[in-house]
Amino acid sequence: MWVITLTTDFGLRDAYVACMKGVILGIAPESRIVDVSHSVSPQDIREAGFLLAAAWPYFPAGTLHVAVVDPGVGTSRRPIAVVTEHGTFIGPDNGIFCPALQAMGRIEPQTGALKGAHGVELTSEDHRLKPTSRTFHGRDIFAPAAGHLATGVPLEHLGGAIDRVTTLDLPGFRRRGRTLEGAVAHIDGFGNVITSIPGRELPPEPVIRIGDATIQGLAESYQDRPLGALVSSGGFLEIAVRNGDAARRLGVRRGDPVEVLEAP
């Protein structure tokens, strides 16, 4: 029994996701397939990477994570699989796995060199659907790779080893004197604003500047304050509006700056 997760921008109207599941179940009938999201904004590699980085810590270590946000499908971008002790990642080498691999310390942030992880380029013709389309590698390359790995095919049968993967310039945080500087990393479906500043870096009495607002201190729950800051379920500084949409209230978008000062 293997768990296989899927993260795509294919949406839920079409049959694309179902085709991938059919291919997987045809090869590995006992696998359990879990959707992470198929509503990633079209071609938004960063959003998919954020979601996968949010999800993997809660899955069994042997889980196969397939992610297909793939504007470069059919070009020279490589199809890859990367095995770590926390899970295996299968998809295009376009940076989509960078947030997850960086969070688990399995790549050098600057170079993308793998550390304590094994990667291959998925070149094996024997482990693809035939004919292989130029436009749907999710179905023709990535789903079969997941299926074969789930049935016990060794990683090295799927292609030649790689030693680095493509990275993204992820929103991070830095200290400038007594100020922490970060950015909006994600806006969730409730409108909650999740930043790139880890909760463990926050001072005891933070003063947060974001959009047109200044927020004093941390809230205890979403109900605590009309506009509150708290540590998100993923461990980062989050801004929320009680029963409302914080991103709209603050007028912020992904990438916008966030500052945290220590109360004087």
- State yes or no: residue 152 binds a second copy (CB under 8 A): no
Q: Which amino acid is at 73?
A: V
SS3 sequence, the chain? CCEEEEEECCCCCCCHHHHHHHHHHHHCCCCEEEEEECCCCCCCHHHHHHHHHHHHHHCCCCCEEEEECCCCCCCCCCEEEEEECCEEEEEECCCCCHHHHHHCCCECCCCCEECCCEEEECCCHHHCCCCCCCCCHHHHHHHHHHHHHHCCCCHHHHCCEECECCCCCCCCCEEECCEEEEEEEEECCCCCEEEEEEHHHCCCCEEEEECCEEEECCCCCCCCCCEEEEECCCCEEEEEECCCCHHHHHCCCCCCEEEEEECC
The interface mask with a second copy, positions 67-106, x = CB under 8 A, is ----xxxxx-------------------------------
Applying CB under 8 A, among 108, 121, 181, 188 the residue interacting with a second copy is 188
Residues 238-257 that bind a second copy (CB under 8 A): 238, 243
Tell me the closest approach of the beta carbon of residue 177 to a second copy, in angstroms.
30
Q: Measured from the CB atom, is 130 or 176 closer to a second copy? A: 130
**Site size with a second copy, rule: CB under 8 A:** 65
Q: How far is the CB of 135 from a second copy (least distance, A)?
A: 5
1 to 30: interface string for a second copy, x by CB under 8 A: x-x-x----xxxxxxxxxxxxxx-xx--xx
163/224 with CB nearer a second copy: 224
The verdict on 217 binding a second copy (CB under 8 A) reads no
Is 227 among the residues that bind a second copy (CB under 8 A)? Answer: no
Give the residue, chosen from 109, 213, 222, 256, that forms a contact with a second copy under the rule CB under 8 A: 222
Q: Note the residues at the interface with a second copy (CB under 8 A).
A: 1, 3, 5, 10-23, 25-26, 29-30, 32-40, 42-43, 51-52, 54-55, 58-60, 63, 71-75, 133-136, 139-140, 188-190, 220-224, 230-233, 238, 243
